[in-house]
Amino acid sequence: MNQLILGDCLEVMRQMESESIDLIYLDPPFFSNRNYEVIWGDKGEIRSFEDRWSG
């Protein structure tokens, strides 16, 4: 089952069944409300993204 869970990780994980997780992927910092620009491929290509939830 693919699922997105929002909450304090320690509190949420205490409620999960033992050995029920195959993978947890984290890429902090989350929700910094910042705009970012990164060089993608060659130096002439810059991509931007926002670190915030949409919707």
- 17, 32 in Cβ contact below 8 A? no
> How far apart (Å, rounded) are the C-alpha atoms in residues 9 and 27?
14
Model pLDDT, residue 52: 66
**What are the per-10-residue average pLDDT scores of the chain (55 residues)?**
79 89 72 69 70 65
> Residues 15-38, buried b or exposed e (16+ Cβ, 10 A)?
eeeeeeeeeeeeeeeeeeeeeeee
What is this structure's pTM?
A: 0.37
Model pLDDT, residue 23: 79
